[in-house]
Every structure is written in structure tokens, then in C-alpha cells.
Amino acid sequence: MLVQVCVTLLTTALLVVSACYTESPPEQRWWAGGNVVACLGLGLTSVESLPVLLHGVIGYGVVAFGLALVLRGLRVHCAANLSWPAIGVITAIALLIPAWFTLVAPSLRARLCFSGFYFALLNWLCAVVVARHGVWRVSIVSLTGFVLLGLALFLRGVHMLLHGDLADRSSSLAMGLSTLAIPLAQICIAFGLIQMVMWRYAERLRRLSTLDALTGALNRAGLDLQGKRVGLRALRGGRSLAVIMIDVDYFKQINDTHGHPVGDEVLRHLARLLKLELRPHDLMARFGGEEFVLVLDGVDRAAALNIAERVRARIEDAVVDWEGVSVRYTASLGVVCSDQHSYDLIRLISAGDVAMYEAKRAGRNRVAVG
């Protein structure tokens, strides 16, 4: 019991410290607050010298309130929420049933059975949220912790149901194993929750380093990283690799006439149009300024030309609306393929750039093949 209390305090302190900085996400604060509240509830239920209303009723409600806060934090992490009325219901159940078995029909056995089953259910609800919305390789640690903690509490409830006499030692092995499982589960949960937040931050940093903030397309670094993989995959599979370079015509004139916010909206609009042509394994990148590039795996020269012409027509027909301003624009496109060039992405982009400028010299708003 002493080890269990110490581990509970240490894991709670770990979550609190990890949440005590300005940029901490809200779910960390819910997790830390929930663990602090649950610890207070455990303290109340453990001190039998307190009035029976405190250790036999209020303590269970405080524990349930803490677990509900943890559950809310998990749902916030998964872009959902848990309403305060739902938290109130979770807490009220943990108050009313122990109150019945404490004040109306006193039964320590029934109260302990209920607490084991009910708190096991709350931990398994947390596990369900993690399993449904988490990334397995990241959330497996916290998922294991919630499942294990729920199982340990459930076994304690079963033990009290089958062996109501607290002095009965016939199931001491099961109780000992559950006592060991609880601190192990708490460690898994604490480190697993922190790992989930760290992974979220790592993904955010990866996106910042490889994606263009304005359009959501890959930037030059992201194109270089992922483009090599796509080229190597196409080469190994014996498939064609096509590159389409796209440049907005007279983009400087759009900025000078309507302002940079309208120019930014034109670039976002173009990115949305280009995404319509992408398959899951294709790439789109903002190559610089108003210039974009598509890398198409398994597309030959003729198919790439058809795609480029379709994109050009969509751009020509589209109207960009931004705060009462309507703008039409066109684009020049250059198409190249590994059938005529190598699989080296840098060479393909260079050849596509040449073809694109050929389209500009030929009058713009057209497709040229390199």
C-alpha cells in the first residue's frame, strides 16, 4: 500500500510538472488536475478515522470526478470533449451508490464491490477513447495502463464480491497481484500520456519543417525528402514518374492591383485545385513564390499532359473571391516524364521548369511538354 501511494504521488507530480509551462496543451492540464483530484479522493477513502460521510461517500465522488477530468482530457486530445453535465453524472453516480451503502443500507462489502467495478469501468472508458482515436505505436503504453488498472480494480471488486470477509486470506495472491498491477498501470498511464503529447509536438514540428504554412503543400525541404522516396519507388517498380510545374501568370500584377492578401488567397485556391488531382501517393509542393510542382507516380507523358490540361482549364474557369474582390487568373504549366528524362527528381524539375517557361514565352495560359 505504501508503494502504491508513493507511485500515485510521483506519477501525479510528473503530470503536474509536465503541465506547468505556458505552452502546455489543455489536455495536459486536465490530466494533471484529474490526477490531483483523484489522489485527494484516494486519501479521503483511505483514512477511516474521518467521518463516515467523508471517507465512505465524498471520497468516492472525488475519485470519480478526477477520473472524469482525465477522460475529458483524453477526449480533448482527440479533438472531442466531455460536457460538464456528463462529468456531473459520473460524479453523482459515485456519490449516490456509496451513500446508499453507507448511510441507508450500510455494507462495506457492497461499497467496495461497487467502487472496484465502477472505477474499472471509468478506466476502460479512457482506454476506449485512446484506442479509437490514438495512433497505436504512440498510445499503446497509456492504453495498456488504462486496461491494466481497470482489470486490477475489477479483480478487487470480484474479490470483495466472492470473499466478503476482509480477514479472509484465501485470495491473497489475487489481491497481491492487483496491488502490484495498480502502480505499474499508473506508471504506464503517466508516461503514456506524456508520450502522446510529445508525439503531437513532434508531428507539429515535422509539419512546420516540411509544409508550406500558407497553402499546406510541401515546401522545398519536404519535396526533397519525400520526392526521393517517390522516385525510388517508381524506379524499383518500373513505373513512369511525371513532374508538372505550374506557375501563376502575372502574379505580381495581382498583388500590385489587389494587394497581397488577395494574392495569398489565389495561391491557396490554386493549392486546393491541385489537390483535386492528387492520389494518395502523389506529391504537391510549393516550389517558390507562385510556382508549384506535382510529382505523379505511375503516370506517363500522355497521361500527365491530360492532367496538366485539365488543371489549366480548371484554373482558367475559376473565380477567386476575397472580401468582396473577385479575381480570375491563369497559369502556365510544364510537363516532363522519366520516360524522356531520368528518375532524378532534380533533373525532372529542372526540365519541367524549362518547359513551363516555354509555355510562358508562347503566350501563357497553356501547357508545354519537355
Which active-site residues does the annotation give? 290
DSSP E strands: which ranges in 239-340? Answer: 241-248, 283-288, 291-297, 320-322, 325-327, 331-337
All three cell numbers of 319:
473565380
Question: In terms of Cα–Cα distance, which of 270, 268, 294, 285 is closest to 220?
Answer: 285
**Cβ atoms of 159 and 168 closer than 8 Å:** no
All three cell numbers of 315:
484554373
Rounded-to-integer distance, Cα 176 and Cα 261, Å = 66
All three cell numbers of 5:
501511494
Backbone φ, ψ for residue 171 (5° rounding): -115, 35
Cα–Cα separations (whole angstroms), residue 363 to 252, 311, 356: 17, 17, 11
Q: How many CA atoms lie within 13 A of 71 on its CB side?
A: 26
All three cell numbers of 284:
504537391
